[in-house]
Amino acid sequence: MSLVGKKAPIFDAPAVVNGTEIVDSFSLEQFIGKKEVMFFFYPKDFTYVCPTEILAFQEKLAEFEKRGVAVVGASTDTQEVHLAWLTTPKNKGGIEGVTYPLVADVAKTIAYNYGVLSGDWSYSEENELTYEGAGVAFRGTFFIDKEGIVRHETINDLPLGRNIDEMIRIVDAWHHVQEYGEVCPANWEEGKDAMKPDPEGVASYLATH
């Protein structure tokens, strides 16, 4: 089920912050009332598509920050593996230079609560609890407002990388809605016309586009 319009699931887990420091207790609650959050999951450290996304988020980090948005990543790897990857140079398959937090969802409960865990538990014919599936997170992305409400989510299958510019467009659209009370039509981008959320506004927009 979608989390859009609902409170983002709460968690407290280890993470690596600033690319070099392990903290035992990290929570998105620290941003409530202060910042919006772009919270994303990726399948696994030391893989192939994942570093391209993580580094792409880092390249656009200043764009998120100037919009008052914190970027936070998460996977089911341990904090120690996160740290090893974060301190490995790019030319050796690492993501050195990434400064935003990476959460360690070792118990896989965060991914499960956000609905992005690939696979599920079931019972065998011998009545033994087993897990079917990869057991890693799909590429889920959640835009969470300052009140802790999820305003946007997308979930990609494991081989499908994200478009980070689209995540920035979502932030811009939400800010436009909040500031002007207008709604954003298809393919809206910052600087383009939006529309009033009433029949006359829609008719006027459609007549001129």
Q: What is the mean pLDDT of each run of 10 residues along the chain (209 residues)?
A: 96 97 97 97 96 98 98 98 97 96 96 93 81 90 98 97 97 95 89 82 75
> Which architecture, in CATH terms, is 13-161?
3-Layer(aba) Sandwich (3.40)
Judge whether 202 and 193 are in contact, CB under 8 Å: no
Per-residue pLDDT tens over the stretch 4-47: 999 999 999 999 999 999 999 999 999 999 999 999 999 999 99
Q: Domain map of the chain by residue range?
A: 13-161, 163-209
Active site (catalytic) residues? 50
Phi, psi of 24 (to 5 degrees): -80, -20
What is the bridge-based pairing of β-strands 129-132 and 13-17? unpaired
CA–CA gap between residue 204 and residue 198 (Å, rounded): 10
- Predicted TM-score (pTM) of this structure: 0.93
